[in-house]
Structure 1
Amino acid sequence: MAQQDFGRKPLSSLSFPPASAVGRGAAWYRGDCHVHSIHSDGELTPEELAVRARAAGLDFIATTEHNSAASPDVWGHLAADDFLIVLGEEVTTKTGHWLALGISSGEVVDWNHQVRDGLVDKCLDQVHRAGGLGVAAHPHAPYPSGDFMFPFPGFDVVEVWNGLWTSDLPWNADNEAALAEWGRSLAADLRAGPWRPAMGNSDTHLEGQIGIPHTVVFAEELSTEAVLAGIRAGRSWIAESAKVDVSFIARANGRAAGVGERLGSHGGQVEVHAAVRGVPAGVVSFHTDRGKVHRAALPNDGAGVVLWDTTAEESAFVRIEVRHPNGHIAALTNPIILDWPLVSS
Structure 2
Amino acid sequence: MIDLPFNRPGRFWRGNLHTHSDRSDGALSPEETASHYREAGYDFLALTDHFRPEYGFPLTDPRPLRTSGFTTLLGAELHAPRTEAGPQWHIIAVGLPIGFPPSAAKADRNWRVRHGPQARSSAWLTWRLRCFLQPMQKAWTRPMRSRSTTPSQRASTGATAGI
TM-score scaled by length of structure 2: 0.57
- Give yes or no for the alignment of 1:60 onto 2:44: yes
Aligned mates of 1:41, 1:35 — CA distance in 2:
10
Q: Is the 8 A contact 2:97 2:135 kept in 1?
A: no
| 2:136 corresponding residue in structure 1 | 127
Deviation (angstroms), 1:49: 1.0
1:38 and 1:132 mapped to 2: Cα distance? 29
Alignment of 1:300-311 (within 5 A): none
Q: Distance in 2 between matches of 1:69 and 1:122?
A: 17
Residue of structure 2 in register with 1:116 after alignment: 123
Which residue of the partner structure matches residue 97 of structure 2? Answer: 104
Taking the aligned partners of 1:219 and 1:48, their CA distance within structure 2 comes to 29
Query: Does the CA-based 8 Å contact 1:30-1:58 persist in structure 2?
Result: yes
**Structural mapping, 1:314-329, within 5 Å:** none
Q: Deviations over 1:160-181 (max 9, x none)?
A: xxxxxxxxxxxxxxxxxxxxxx
| Higher percent of residues as strand | 1
Equivalent residue of 2:100, what SS? Answer: coil
Consecutive unaligned residues in structure 1, runs of 5 or more: 1-25, 134-217, 223-234, 236-254, 262-345
Aligned equivalent of 2:72, options 85, 94, 100: 85
Unaligned runs of 5+ in 2: 1-9, 52-56, 82-87, 109-119, 149-153
Taking a change above 3 Å as real, the CA distance of residues 58 and 83 of structure 1, as seen in their structure-2 partners, is same
Q: Which amino acid aligns with 1:125?
A: Q
- Contact (CA 8 Å) 1:60, 1:85: kept in 2 or not? yes
Shift of 1:108: 2.8
> Among 29, 47, 53, which residue is 2:13 paired with?
29
- The structure with the largest alpha-carbon Rg is 1
Task: Mark the CA change 1:111 to 1:91 in structure 2 (over 3 Å): closer, same or farther.
Answer: farther
Q: Deviations over 1:117-174 (max 9, x none)?
A: 1312343232223x169xxxxxxxxxxxxxxxxxxxxxxxxxxxxxxxxxxxxxxxxx
Of the candidates 60, 65, 73, which is equivalent to residue 71 of structure 1? 60
Q: Which structure features the higher share of helix residues?
A: 2
RMSD (Å), alpha carbons:
3.3
Equivalent residues in 2 for 1:109-258, closer than 5 Å:
110-111=103-104, 115-117=122-124, 118-119=126-127, 120-129=129-138, 131=139, 220-221=146-147, 258=158
Give the residue type in structure 2 aligned to 1:110. Answer: S
Distance between the aligned counterparts of 1:128 and 1:38, measured in 2?
A: 29
Aligned residue identity for 2:137: H
- How far residue 59 of structure 1 moved from its aligned partner, in angstroms, is 0.7
On the 8 A contact 1:87/1:105 being kept in 2, the answer is yes
1:91·1:109 contact (CA, 8 Å) conserved in 2? no
Q: Distance in 2 between matches of 1:57 and 1:92?
A: 30
Shift of 1:33: 1.3
Matched, 1:47 2:31: yes
Identity of aligned residues (%): 28
Once the two structures are superposed, residues 225-256 of structure 1 have per-residue CA deviations (whole angstroms, 9 ceiling, x without a partner) of xxxxxxxxxx9xxxxxxxxxxxxxxxxxxx96
Size of the alignment, in residue pairs?
118
TM-score calculated relative to the size of structure 1? 0.29
SS at match of 1:88: strand
SS at match of 1:29: coil
